[in-house]
Amino acid sequence: KMANSSAPWIGCAYLFLQSTCKTIVLPSLYESSQKKPSVFKALKLALADSTGSMNGVDMLKVHCSQPHLIVQLKFCKQENCRRFLQSYREGALQESLQNHLQLSLAISAVPLEMELKAGSEHLDSMLKDEDRCLECIYREKPDRLRDEEITKLEECLKNLIVHQSINNNMAVKDCASLNSPSQPGPSQGNSLSPQVTFTFQGQVFANRTLTPDDHQKFAKLVSKKWKQVGRSLQKNCRALRDPVIDNLALEYDREGLYEQAYQMLLRFRESEGQKATIARLIAALEENGLISLAEELLGLHSNED
């Protein structure tokens, strides 16, 4: 067994990041006092996406070693490490980090190559054997406390989140260096700018765009309440006005509830694009008492397998 039942499960790994674009050098960006908060913010949010929680994985230190940016990661729960490995294996972490870097740095695209190591073990070659990866990560205990610089960046990001939750859509002036001076076009001109995080059941989660996996889980589990959820979403989505929802019910009546729910959320995702976020869907589920489904989408149900 990897751990005694009484001892906490703690492991460590190193995430190696390199941009494949010659004009984007991640170590140089991180060493820049102006860009560092933006790069850190993107790292933090992408890691939160991978585990479903802002506290799922801890960054101990970020090393700059040309051409790599190397992030030392600490995991305190095996289930969080499993979620991270799954996200890494499926390419979701890479896609999330590319998107967050693009938004934080206000540039067109950040193509990335990633590599994961635990001690001398290269985990990329054994990703299909999740238990073996977990064993390697568990064997590597953190050799340091969190770097003071990381602690300062964490505090700055927390302050930003607090100010955003207080001010909602008002401009945030405190900790302004964490916000890129200009966001790409899609989030402008819409009163519903995606927030960085949201709270559910007293716990803070990173916001993100809905994934195909979210879409399928929702359609599978929402059952007869898909119409109510659609009407909750329609408050900020013109594509889901009442006639549309009623027409979907008629058009896909023979296919059943799964297809009706799937098509409703498809309209939402196609219409809203990157603004079709998990936070908006969770809020709609809460409004209709679908707490268990919300927990499922956020990965709060323990995996018995």
Q: Express each pLDDT in 276-301 by its tens digit.
A: 999 999 999 999 999 999 999 998 86
Q: Which residue has the higher pLDDT, 137 or 157?
A: 137
Do both 202 and 145 map to the same domain?
Answer: no
Phi, psi at residue 211, to the nearest 5°? Answer: -105, 165
Final residue before a domain boundary, out of 100, 121, 153: 153
* 23 and 147 part of one domain: yes
Q: How far is CA 293 from CA 86, 196, 221, 243, 244, in A?
A: 21, 22, 7, 26, 24
What range does the domain containing 259 cover? Answer: 197-298
Strand-pair category, 112-118 with 58-65: unpaired
| Nearest Cα residue to 296 out of 207, 204, 215 | 215
pLDDT-derived band of residue 161, with 50, 70 and 90 as boundaries? Answer: low
> Residue 72 pairs with which residues in a beta bridge?
14, 61
pLDDT band at residue 185 using 50, 70 and 90 as cut-offs: very low
Asked whether residue 163 is domain-assigned, the answer is: no
If one counts every other C-beta atom within 10 angstroms of the C-beta of residue 125, the result is: 8
Q: Which residue has the higher pLDDT, 268 or 144?
A: 268
Residue 304 maps to a domain:
no
Specify whether 20 is located in the same domain as 146: yes
Q: Which of 65-69, 104-108, 156-160, 241-245 has the lowest mean pLDDT?
A: 156-160
CATH number at residue 112: 3.30.70.680
Burial class, 187, CB count within 10 angstroms (exposed 0-12 / middle 13-18 / buried 19+): middle
Q: Are residues 229 and 142 in the same domain?
A: no
Q: Are residues 20 and 75 in the same domain?
A: yes
Peptide bond into 243 cis (omega under 30): no
The predicted model gives 77-106 an average pLDDT of 92
202 and 147 fall within a common domain: no
| pLDDT band of 5, cuts 50, 70, 90 | low
Q: In angstroms, rounded to a whole number, what is the distance separating the alpha carbons of residues 79 and 11?
A: 12
What stretch of H or E contains 59?
Answer: strand 58-65
Domain boundary among 153, 185, 220: 153
pLDDT of residue 189: 36
Residues 113 and 19 in one domain: yes
Give yes or no for residue 91 having a pLDDT over 80: yes
Q: Shortest CA distance to 214 belongs to which of 289, 286, 295, 99?
A: 295
Contact 59, 47 (CB under 8 A): yes
Query: Does 7 or 224 have the greater pLDDT score?
Result: 224
Q: Please tell me what DSSP assigns to residue 171.
A: P
**Is 133 domain-assigned?**
yes
Residue 64 lies in a domain: yes
Average pLDDT, integer, range 1-5? 50
Tell me, yes or no, whether 43 and 136 share the same domain. Answer: yes
pLDDT at 210 over 70: yes
- Do 230 and 146 lie in a common domain? no
Examine residue 172 and state whether it is found in any structural domain, yes or no. Answer: no
**Residue 220 confidence (pLDDT) above 50:** yes
Average pLDDT, the chain: 84
285 and 210 inside one domain: yes
- Residue 232 is part of a domain; what is its CATH number? 1.10.533.10
Domain's final residue, options 153, 184, 205: 153
State whether 228 and 146 are in the same domain. Answer: no
Q: How far is CA 65 from CA 17, 19, 113, in A?
A: 10, 13, 15
Please write the tens of the pLDDT for every residue from 116-156. Answer: 999 999 999 999 999 999 999 999 998 878 888 898 888 87
- For residue 162 the two structure tokens come to 């607090």
Query: What is the DSSP code (8-state) at residue 182?
Result: S
User: Within this chain, do residues 24 and 82 fall inside the same structural domain, yes or no?
Assistant: yes
What is the spatial distance between Cα 224 and Cα 261, in angstroms, rounded to a whole number? 9
Q: What stretch of H or E contains 118?
A: strand 112-118
Is 121 among the domain residues?
yes
Q: Provide the greatest CA pair distance for the chain.
A: 61
Task: Say if residues 96 and 50 touch (Cβ distance below 8 Å).
Answer: yes
Q: What is the pLDDT of residue 67?
A: 92
Number of domains in the chain: 2
**pLDDT-derived band of residue 181, with 50, 70 and 90 as boundaries?**
very low
